[in-house]
Structure 1
Amino acid sequence: MKKVGVVLSGCGVRDGSEIHEAVFTLLAIDQCGAEAVCMAPDAEFPETNHATMEETGAKRNALVESARIARGDIRNIAAVTAADLDAVIFPGGFGAAKNLCDFAVKGAAASVHPEVARLLKEMAAAKKPIGAICIAPVVTAAVFGKELAPTLTIGTDAGTAAEIGKTGARHQDCAVTECVVDRENKLVSTPAYMLATHISEVHEGIGKCVREVIALI
C-alpha cells in the first residue's frame, strides 16, 4: 500500500492546520487506497482563540495539537524520511505559513522549519510527489523557488502570488475546485479555503489534488 505523508501544523485554521482541509486530505488518501502517515514538528506556537480570532498570549505544541486531527496516530516529522513515504501532502491553515515557515511575517524572505525543509528536499531528490493545499504552497515556494522554480497556486490572491513570484516560484491562477500540476517537479497544489465559499468546493478541489499526487507516484 502506498504511504502518503500528511504534514500538519496544529489544530485550527488561525494557528494550525485547517481542520476541514486536513480531514478531506485524509479521506481522499483513504479513498485512493493509500495509507496516510500523519506528522508534525515538535514545536511551540502562539495560540489563537477561534471564537474571537485573537491571540491569547498562551502557546501550544504543534505535534500535540495535530494529534487531535490524527486521532493520536502521529509522528514527529524529525523521525520521518523520504524513504518512509511515497508522497507527501501539506494541508493549509495559517499554521502552514506561521509554524511550518514564517511566510506570514516575512513573505518571500521566509525561512522554513528545518525538519520540514529537510523532508521536502529529500522528497524532491527522490523524485517523489508533493501536494500543497490552500496557503501551504508558500512552504514549497520558500524551499524550492530559487532552485526549481516550480509552478504552483494559492488561487487568485494577487498579493500572495506576487510574494511567491519573488521566491523564484511561478504562480498560476486556479479555480477553487481545480488543481495545478507541475509534472516536471511532481508538485500539485489547489486553492481550497484561499478561495472557497462552500465546504463542498474544498472537498472537490482537495480530492482532485490528492488523486493527482497519487497518480504521480
Structure 2
Amino acid sequence: MMSLLQASARSSVRAVTKNFYSTEMSKRVAVVLAGCGVFDGSEIHEASAILVHLSRGGASVNVFAPDVEQMHVVDHAKGEPTKERRNVLVESARLARGSIQDLSKLSVEDHDAIIFPGGFGAAKNLCTWAVQGKDCSVNGEVKAALEAFRGEGKPIGLCCIAPVLAAKVFPGCEVTVGLENDDKYPNTTDTAAAIKQLGCEHVSAPVSRSHVDRKNKLVTTCAFMCDAPIHEVFDGIGSMVQDVLKLA
C-alpha cells in the first residue's frame, strides 16, 4: 500500500507540473504554420518545441495555416528547389497531425495568444522577406491576425526569422533575432540591420533567452538563427512560450 508520504509527494509533483508556467487557467493559443520543412516551410523542431512547451504549460492549441501555394518546394536532401508545387495548408497539416484550420477562419475572440514558428516558410510563404527583405509584403491573413491580436492586447510570440513579420507590420516595435556581430549567429546582423531600417528596435539576446516588448505584447527568441545545439534552441523557445502564457 502506498504510504501517506508517497501519496503526498506524487501530489506535489503533479501540482508543480501543472503550474510549470504559472498559468492559473488553461490558455487558448493559436499556432500559425507556414508549411513543413526548414527550407520551404515551418522549421519542424521549432514548431514541435512550441507545441511541447504549450502542452507543458497547460494550454489548449489550435493550429492554422494559410490556404495558399508555397513560394517553391525545396529538396531538403539536396538543398535545391524542385519543379513540384505544394500547398501551405496541406503541408502544414503534416506537422499538425491533420488537426489544422484555414488561417482565414482564425478568430481572435476564441484565443488568448498567437505564436509563429520560424523556418524559411515564414519568410517565403507568410511574407516575401526571403526575396525582398525589408521591402517585403505580408500575406493579408497573416497581417490581419497580427493586427487583431495586438488590437485586443493579446500576446504574440515569434521565433527565428518570424519576428520580421512583426517588424514589418508594427513600426517601432522591439524584437530579437539573436546576437549581432557574433559568429554563432551568422544571419542575425544583416537581419537586425533591416529591422532597424523599418524603424524598429533590435535587441540582442542569446539563443537561450526571449525578449518581451511589453508595449506591443510581442515575445521573440532567435531559435535557429543561432548555430546552437538543439537543446539550447528548445530552451529558448520554452522561454518565449512561458512569457507568452504569462502575458495572456
- Whether TM exceeds 0.5 here: the answer is yes
Give the fraction of aligned pairs with identical amino acids, expressed as a percent.
Answer: 49
- The root-mean-square deviation of aligned C-alpha atoms, in Å, is 0.8
Confirm whether residue 142 of structure 1 aligns to residue 168 of structure 2: yes
Confirm whether residue 47 of structure 1 aligns to residue 52 of structure 2: no
- What 5-or-longer segments of structure 1 have no aligned partner? none
Q: 2:240 aligns with which of 191, 202, 209?
A: 209
**C-alpha deviation, 1:196, in angstroms:** 3.6
Amino acid across the alignment from 1:23: S
Alpha carbons 2:207, 2:228 under 8 Å: kept: no
Q: Secondary structure at the match of 2:83?
A: strand
- TM-score, normalized by length of structure 1? 0.97
The structure that has the greater radius of gyration is 2
Q: 1:124 aligns with which of 117, 131, 150?
A: 150
Post-superposition CA distance 1:73-106 (Å, at most 9, x none): 0010001121121000000000000100001111
- TM-score, normalized by length of structure 2? 0.85
Query: What is the number of residues matched between the two proteins?
Result: 214
- The aligned runs of 1:12-23 (5 Å cut-off) are 12-23=37-48
**C-alpha deviation, 1:110, in angstroms:** 1.1
Q: 1:99 aligns with which of 107, 125, 136?
A: 125
Which of the two has greater strand per residue? 1
Alpha carbons 1:154, 1:173 under 8 Å: kept: yes
Amino acid across the alignment from 2:209: E
What does residue 30 of structure 2 align with?
Answer: 5
Return the alpha-carbon distance in structure 1 between the equivalents of residues 103 and 210 of structure 2.
26
Q: Secondary structure at the match of 1:175?
A: coil
What does residue 160 of structure 1 align with?
Answer: 191
After TM superposition, what 4+ stretches of structure 1 lie above 6 angstroms from structure 2? none
**C-alpha deviation, 1:60, in angstroms:** 0.8
Alpha carbons 1:196, 1:202 under 8 Å: kept: no
**C-alpha deviation, 1:62, in angstroms:** 0.5
Return the alpha-carbon distance in structure 2 between the equivalents of residues 68 and 101 of structure 1.
21
Q: Secondary structure at the match of 2:137?
A: coil
Q: Secondary structure at the match of 2:84?
A: strand
